[in-house]
């Protein structure tokens, strides 16, 4: 069992790139004990879970290195002090360049682990999206989860022995919760031209898919998958909500970016892991 791919680490926390197909934490049964958490603890026995990703989802995860840091980071996720951006490829052409899905989600108890939209019993759930492109052919890589790696990056070796893969950080004045939640969203929407749709009249090939940037403002289980399916654009490869697991070789959902103020200082950490599809 090889060490996972680290993108950032210090004495307080770790940020790791999880491959698709690997559990984030142990499941029930002897065959479900291999997971990212177990692999992390092989190298960092003090690592503690802060949040999770679905087994089928790849991308960035944060681990704390003390109980106090675990409480603080968990609070930051709960209070929306952590900016999160995902990339997904969904079925169909999403018409609006930006938008929100504001539909309440509840556990579908007779069909667990499924979730469903329920206007009466569901918890408030909000997802923002931005169209990145249309009609892309799907070339998803299938990582070997025995290696714990999904991509190759140039690495450096800091003094504390942690392997770090290209991260950026900055210091900015502190913001209130609403400002933090909206800052990256507003900047990214205004920083790039609108995606160009294929022109069928000119004979341009059309693949009926849309690449999206997704921002889960709330953090419900399966939120992005449920919301995309609810608006008629299931994520490709989603066997639970897409209805067609053969539409892609894996779930095309990747936790691409995390940004937050380091709990022990004013430094803002921004970590990016590009999608392997």
Q: Which of 54, 177, 178, 238 is catalytic?
A: 54
Q: Which fold has domain 5-139+156-272?
A: Pseudouridine synthase (3.30.2350)
pLDDT(129) > 70: yes
Lowest model confidence (mean pLDDT) among 202-206, 219-223, 263-267: 202-206
pLDDT category at 142 given cuts 50, 70, 90 is low
- Could you read off the pLDDT of 1-35 as tens digits, one per residue? 555 799 999 999 999 999 999 999 998 888 889 99
Q: How far apart are the first and last CA of the chain?
A: 25
Cα distance between residue 146 and residue 65, in whole Å: 24
**Could you tell me which residue, 159 or 198, shows the higher pLDDT?**
198
pLDDT of residue 30: 85
**Mean pLDDT computed over 248-261:** 97
Run of H or E residues at 179? helix 177-191
The pair of three-digit structure tokens given for residue 247, joined into one six-digit string: 């539409």
Cα distance between residue 20 and residue 253, in whole Å: 9
- Could you read off the pLDDT of 70-84 as tens digits, one per residue? 999 999 999 999 999
pLDDT of residue 141: 58
**Mean pLDDT computed over 101-119:** 96
Pairing of strands 253-261, 83-91: antiparallel
- Could you read off the pLDDT of 229-251 as tens digits, one per residue? 999 999 999 999 986 788 899 99
pLDDT(173) > 50: no
pLDDT of residue 259: 98
**Mean pLDDT computed over 194-203:** 55
Task: Tell me the residue ranges of DSSP E strands in the chain.
Answer: 5-9, 13-18, 48-49, 58-64, 83-91, 98-102, 105-107, 115-117, 126-134, 155-156, 164-165, 168-171, 209-216, 253-261, 267-272
pLDDT(190) > 70: no
Cα distance between residue 211 and residue 123, in whole Å: 27
pLDDT(200) > 90: no
Average pLDDT, the chain: 82
Task: Tell me the residue ranges of DSSP E strands in 115-193.
Answer: 115-117, 126-134, 155-156, 164-165, 168-171
Run of H or E residues at 41? helix 36-43
Query: What is the residue extent of each domain of the chain?
Result: 5-139+156-272
pTM of the entire predicted model: 0.80
Give the list of residues 6+ apart from residue 3 with CB closer than 8 angstroms, or none: 39, 42, 43, 148, 163
pLDDT(201) > 60: no
Is residue 54 among the annotated active site residues?
A: yes
Cα distance between residue 94 and residue 203, in whole Å: 21
């Amino acid at each position: 069992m090889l060490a996972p791919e680290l993108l950032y680490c210090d004495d307080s926390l770790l940020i790791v790139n999880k491959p698709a197909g690997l559990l984030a934490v142990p499941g029930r049964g002897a065959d479900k004990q291999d997971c990212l958490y177990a692999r992390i603890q092989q190298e960092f026995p003090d690592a503690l879970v802060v949040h999770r990703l679905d087994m089928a989802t790849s991308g960035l995860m944060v681990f704390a290195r003390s109980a106090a840091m675990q409480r603080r980071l968990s609070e930051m996720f709960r209070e929306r002090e952590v900016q999160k951006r995902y990339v997904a490829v969904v079925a169909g052409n999403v018409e609006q360049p930006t938008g929100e899905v504001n539909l309440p989600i509840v556990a579908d108890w007779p069909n667990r682990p499924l979730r469903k939209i329920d206007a009466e019993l569901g918890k408030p759930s909000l997802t923002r999206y931005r169209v990145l492109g249309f009609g892309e052919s799907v070339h998803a890589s299938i990582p070997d989860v025995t290696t714990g790696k999904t991509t190759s990056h140039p690495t450096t070796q800091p003094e504390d022995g942690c392997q770090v893969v290209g991260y950026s950080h900055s210091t900015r004045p502190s913001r209130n919760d609403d400002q933090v939640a909206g800052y990256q969203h507003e900047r990214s929407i205004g920083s790039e031209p609108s995606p160009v749709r294929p022109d069928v009249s000119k004979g341009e090939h059309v693949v009926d898919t849309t690449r999206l940037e997704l921002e889960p403002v709330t953090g419900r289980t399966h939120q992005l998958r449920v919301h995309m399916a609810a608006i008629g654009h299931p994520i490709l490869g989603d066997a639970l909500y897409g209805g067609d697991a053969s539409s892609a070789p894996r779930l095309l959902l990747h936790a691409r970016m995390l940004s937050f103020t380091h709990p022990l200082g004013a430094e803002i950490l921004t970590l990016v892991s590009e999608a392997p599809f």
